[in-house]
Amino acid sequence: MEYIKPKRIWLKNNPDLNELWVQERIAEDPSILGLGDLILKDRERVQPRAGRLDLLLQDPDTNQRYEVEVQLGSSDESHIIRTIEYWDIERRRYPQYDHTAVIIAEDITSRFLNVISLFNGFIPLIAIQMNMWKINDRVALLFTKVVDELPMGLVDEDEEVREVADRSYWENRGTKNTVAIADNLLEIIHHFDPGFELKYNKFYIGLAKNEQPNNFAIFRPQKNYLRFEVRLDPSEELEQKLSEAGLDVMEYSKRDRRYRVRLTEQDIKSHQELLSELLKVAYNNSIS
């Protein structure tokens, strides 16, 4: 195999390739950012009295949105302020979504990283360094995450601000049959702790014991399945078990530290032992 040394190209003063070109590449395939299988929700999105947001990306399977700002050359304080301002506008306008600010630049200096670290943990923020490389007569864009988002708190810690729903709300949003799958999972939980009950919220069905939320697992009934989300650290052994079982596993949520699985009524019957194992481990982790 022949080795070819690529050449670094800086876009800042490039006469042929500009920021608009970079936006187009990301819009064509948002997965190149390494943030998951995202879709483009909007581009050059007008912000009230605040300019335009470069890109708005969304996870199609969750209520997660990413406010993305691209800057050629070295990033600076104005880039941070602009990104955070757009993030703040979007989260206020659309509070039903989880929002993350994403800063992309060709050069992210140590001073810039120090400034970002002051915000991270208070503002969900990701910094990505963008590099363009030329190989023969072709170019490639590479994106490297240099600052990851810090968790902003677990679901149950914010329970009191969630809008309360009821069973009929979820039967209309999903179906009676998919809500019944949550009942089946609750029965499995009762084998090791009978004190839990379902707690109906606007965005998910959670778990509570003695009126205190403990969402080591949450449930989101859809029309044809129930999305089962269990809080567990990533594990190759666990992923192999899920794969061998043939369950419909979605992408792992790093933000919430949850495995997400689409379950049908038949899955409950066929994989009760595995589901019980997942729930019990997550439960033990939550009380340890």
What does 4-56 look like in DSSP terms, one character per residue? ---EEE-STT-SS--HHHHHHHHHH-GGGGSS-S-EEEEEEEEETTTEEEEEE
Instruction: Kindly state whether residues 12 and 138 are assigned to the same domain.
Output: yes
Range list of H helices, the chain? 19-28, 77-93, 110-119, 167-173, 176-190, 236-245, 265-270, 272-287
Q: Does the structure show a pLDDT above 70 at 154?
A: no
Of residues 109 and 214, more confidently modeled:
214
Average pLDDT over residues 150-178: 70
Instruction: Kindly state whether residues 15 and 122 are assigned to the same domain.
Output: yes
Instruction: Kindly state whether residues 159 and 143 are assigned to the same domain.
Output: no
Instruction: Kindly state whether residues 113 and 218 are assigned to the same domain.
Output: no
pLDDT for residue 81: 87
**Structural domain contains residue 1:** no
Instruction: Kindly state whether residues 97 and 163 are assigned to the same domain.
Output: no
Average pLDDT over residues 252-256: 80
Domain end point (choices 147, 176, 209): 147
pLDDT tens digit sequence for 22-39: 999 999 999 999 998 899
Instruction: Kindly state whether residues 161 and 33 are assigned to the same domain.
Output: no
CA distances from 277 to 82, 156, 199, 228 (A): 46, 22, 22, 14
Distance from C-alpha of 218 to C-alpha of 204, rounded to nearest angstrom: 6
pLDDT for residue 164: 60
Identity at 28, one-letter amino acid code = E
Q: Does the structure show a pLDDT above 90 at 179?
A: yes
**Structural domain contains residue 184:** yes
Q: Give the CATH number, domain containing residue 13.
A: 3.40.1350.10
Q: Does the structure show a pLDDT above 70 at 156?
A: no
Q: Is the dihedral of CA 193, 161, 48, 107 positive or negative?
A: negative
Domain end point (choices 147, 180, 197): 147
Q: Count structural domains, the chain.
A: 2
Average pLDDT over residues 269-278: 94
Instruction: Kindly state whether residues 116 and 176 are assigned to the same domain.
Output: no
pLDDT for residue 159: 45
CB 242 within 8 A of CB 259: yes
Distance from C-alpha of 24 to C-alpha of 11, rounded to nearest angstrom: 14
Domain that holds residue 48: 7-147
**Structural domain contains residue 169:** yes
pLDDT tens digit sequence for 194-211: 999 999 998 899 999 998
**Structural domain contains residue 111:** yes
Instruction: Kindly state whether residues 130 and 219 are assigned to the same domain.
Output: no
| Strand residues in 168-213 grouped as ranges (E) | 196-200, 205-209, 212-213
Give the list of residues 6+ apart from residue 21 with CB closer than 8 angstroms, or none.
Answer: none
pLDDT for residue 149: 67
> Which residue has 């483009």 as its token pair?
40
**Structural domain contains residue 262:** yes
Lowest mean pLDDT among 116-120, 129-133, 216-220, 243-247: 116-120
Instruction: Kindly state whether residues 185 and 84 are assigned to the same domain.
Output: no
Give the list of residues 6+ apart from residue 136 with CB closer than 8 angstroms, or none.
Answer: 4
Rg (CA), the chain: 22
For 85, other C-beta atoms within 10 Å of its C-beta total 17
Lowest mean pLDDT among 45-49, 146-150, 255-259, 282-286: 146-150
Instruction: Kindly state whether residues 142 and 15 are assigned to the same domain.
Output: yes
Q: Give the CATH number, domain containing residue 275.
A: 3.90.1150.20
For 39, other C-beta atoms within 10 Å of its C-beta total 10
Instruction: Kindly state whether residues 198 and 142 are assigned to the same domain.
Output: no
Q: Residue 130's closest CA among 253, 23, 51, 5? A: 23
Domain end point (choices 147, 170, 188): 147
For strand 64-74 and strand 98-107, is the pairing parallel, antiparallel, or unpaired? parallel
**Largest interatomic CA distance in the chain:** 67
Q: How confident is the model at residue 120 (pLDDT cuts 50, 70, 90)?
A: low
The percentage of residues in the chain with a pLDDT greater than 90, rounded to a whole number, is 50
Average pLDDT, the chain: 87
The percentage of residues in the chain with a pLDDT greater than 70, rounded to a whole number, is 92
Average pLDDT over residues 255-276: 92
Instruction: Kindly state whether residues 134 and 168 are assigned to the same domain.
Output: no
pLDDT for residue 161: 43
- Measured in residues, the chain has a length of 288
Distance from C-alpha of 152 to C-alpha of 124, rounded to nearest angstrom: 7
**Structural domain contains residue 2:** no
